[in-house]
Amino acid sequence: MADELTIQPGSEVSIFYSITLKDGTVADSNLGEEPLQFVMGDGTLIEGLELALYGLARGAKQDVSIDPEYAFGMPDEEAVQELPRSEFPDTIDLQAGQIMAFATPEGEDIPAAILEVGNEMVKVDFNHPLAGHEIRFVVEVVDIKPPAEG
């Protein structure tokens, strides 16, 4: 009888998951939606979440707490920047606490939090919103395909 297929580097994986903070706030989840499909190591999941999946088989469930440094990292002071108010469209009513998407030079959208809004400058935090937080990662493996030959 063949060994049961488990998640390895390069495996195609489908999962249901939820990410919650210590206080129970749900930060991200696809429960009740379509499973998330990705290839292990393709960058879809951060390394700490991938590590929780290695060796799991189809139908397996995992519930782990992940420290900030293995989850979304620790906040970096250099990721907090002051941008000229003139760089924001006049049509946007900027508010402290607001989350906005900013385009990187590569054309990728990243979320950032508005910290302070002044007449001339806007303080923006480009740290991941979950940086510095311990997270709880609950996952159910829906399907696994072996790594592509090549």
Give the model confidence (pLDDT) of 129-142 as tens digits.
899 999 999 999 99
Q: What's the average model confidence in pLDDT over 5-32? A: 95
pLDDT of residue 60: 97
Task: Reply yes or no on whether the pLDDT at 13 is more than 70.
Answer: yes
Average pLDDT over residues 121-127: 96
Please report the domains of the chain, with CATH numbers, ordered by start residue.
Answer: 12-72+130-145 (3.10.50.40), 77-125 (2.40.10.330)
* 32 conformational bin, left if phi > 0, alpha if psi -120 to 50, beta if neither: left
Q: Average pLDDT over the chain, rounded to whole?
A: 93
Using the predicted structure, report yes or no on whether residue 43 has a pLDDT greater than 80.
Answer: yes
| Cα torsion through 21, 41, 106, 127, rounded to 10 | 20
Q: Residue 22: which residues within 8 A CB-CB, separation 6 or more?
A: 133, 134, 136
Predicted local confidence at residue 127, as pLDDT: 94
Q: State residue 150's pLDDT score.
A: 57
Handedness of CA 51, 104, 90, 126 (dihedral sign): positive
Residue 138 phi, psi dihedral angles, 5° rounding? -110, 125
Per the structure block, which two tokens stand in for 139? 């996952």
User: What pLDDT, on the 0 to 100 scale, is given for residue 1?
Assistant: 40
